[in-house]
Structure 1
């Protein structure tokens, strides 16, 4: 990222990498907000279902939702806390899509 502590103390923040980081961060904020909007009513629903069903702990829908929430947090990786920890993250998905778009654009230009 553009804000990593550089070995070279003369390194500067440059517009291109900073803009890319901003766009990725905004996408991740959107994904995080959407997840929160979905999780709020779901958490209430599964809590009520668990209260009615009284399942064993390992069958609790509420606890399963909490596990899903943790996994989605790792995937969204909002503040890069899961960087290089072996988790597939949204950053990698965005990089893959960007690379595919760049390759498609280059292929299209070659055909012209």
Structure 2
């Protein structure tokens, strides 16, 4: 957080600043989650598009493309929800749910838990202690 605040206020933070590293790690993790969601959507939509095309071919309704059009609209909606390449300029300002909003809510819940000494704080201490023991063993 400190590195982010410094960079926003115009002060240069060092490349080794924990704020910058933390922001980078957060962005990489969120991007991986978005890639997974996008891939899962594509896997599901591929057979659905074939089914929509087949239904359109055998349908006796006026518009043979109605099913595919619905699927395309669903694809656009999920594309905005996933926001893979941050094409929505301010995802947290939009009323519709998105992976960005969900990630912010999870992050805030973890931050509150950590500040209150909950499970995330105990986990962080345990990881720090384990890392210290590993460094101690490696230095011997």
- TM-score under structure 2 length normalisation: 0.63
User: In the alignment, does 2:43 pair up with 1:37?
Assistant: yes
- Residue 104 of structure 1: CA displacement? 4.0
Q: Any unmatched runs of 5+ in structure 1?
A: none
How far apart, CA to CA, are the structure 2 residues paired with 1:57 and 1:36? 25
Task: Return structure 1 stretches of 4+ with deviation > 2 angstroms.
Answer: 5-13, 54-59, 85-88, 100-109
The answer to which structure has the higher helix fraction is 2
User: In the alignment, does 2:58 pair up with 1:49?
Assistant: no
Aligned to 1:88: 97
User: In the alignment, does 2:88 pair up with 1:78?
Assistant: no
How far apart, CA to CA, are the structure 1 residues paired with 2:13 and 2:82? 28
How far apart, CA to CA, are the structure 2 residues paired with 1:103 and 1:31? 27
How far apart, CA to CA, are the structure 1 residues paired with 2:90 and 2:63? 32
Of structures 1 and 2, the one with the larger relative CO (CA 8 A, separation 6+) is: 1
Q: Deviations over 1:9-67 (max 9, x none)?
A: 83566211000000000000000000000000110011101111143449811100000
Q: Any unmatched runs of 5+ in structure 2?
A: 120-140
Alignment size in residue pairs? 107
Choose which of 17, 22, 33 in structure 2 pairs with 1:16: 22
**What is the CA RMSD across the aligned residues, in angstroms?**
3.0
In structure 1, the residue corresponding to 2:109 is in which secondary structure? helix
Aligned to 2:74: 68
Label 1:27 to 1:84 Cα distance change in 2 as closer, same or farther (>3 A). Answer: same
